[in-house]
Structure 1
Amino acid sequence: MRTWTIHEIVDACAMTTGELSQWISRGHFRPSVAVRPGQRRRFDWRDLACLAVMRMLRKHSLSLDGMALIVSDLRDDLAGMNDISDISGRSFFCADWGKKQPCPTVGLVTETDLFAVLKRRPETVIIVDVATVYRDAAGAIPVVTAAGGAAQ
């Protein structure tokens, strides 16, 4: 499975290494693989997808705690998937129902399921095409070629 360094990830997601390190240490972002102190962290496709979503959510001035909750739910949905192609045709959403329902509804759903949620008229809804924001972020990572010419 392809993995990336912290520098590749932060460049692709328009953040700093310090910012990402703080998000991890404060529990706002949970990487796929735990590391011991002093060990280099590598990030997989799930990490890149979640951080790309966080980047997109930042543009909408959501609080860090709010983004962390949304991305945590996305992380859970991505946990059992093999790669980004597994989410083809699905969108991730977070619907806030206001006083009608105290907890937001979140999930990685098909278009049909998303329409069903929208018909229930949530007060606010955030919809993210995870595959698209992932591809945009992945496209920002330069391909490094080894001596033999193969991508690492």
Structure 2
Amino acid sequence: MGNRENRNGGNRNRGNGNGNGNGGGNGYNFRGFMPARKCTYQDFLKFQPLSFNGTKVVVELTHWFEKMETVFHICNCLEKYQVKYATCALLNSALTWWNSYKRIIGIEAAYAMSWEELMKLMTEVYCPRNEAQKLEIELWNLDVKGNDLNAYT
């Protein structure tokens, strides 16, 4: 029967003989790595991004930002799609705000903004500086009361 390599038609990882091991001899040289596939909206949704409904709660918005960034990273979402995909997760008053904002600056300009610009804008709208300062002061003024973790929740 011969050895395994000969039964399977030779070393399949040899490719076109140029030592790159592309396996198919198709002229592409990936050096063992396939290029990142474009993240589609369906791919993005598979990672279950959080929705944001526009509640003016700093923590909720921060969690939404963090989850979005995690999903962008995991699904290799290109920067040019990040705002478009993320804003599809807006609900209720947040969606109304976004639609109004798009009408004011234009759809193309709205979707041309970077994720960082959107985060800054949403922070200004949903986390007024005085609210963030209140939370910061509350955090700094917490008193430790023994080992009772329930006292802090």
Normalising by structure 1, what TM-score? 0.25
Larger strand fraction of residues: 1
Q: Which has the higher contact order (CA 8 A, sep 6+)?
A: 1
Normalising by structure 2, what TM-score? 0.25
Larger helix fraction of residues: 2
- Determine which structure has more spread, i.e. the larger CA radius of gyration: 2
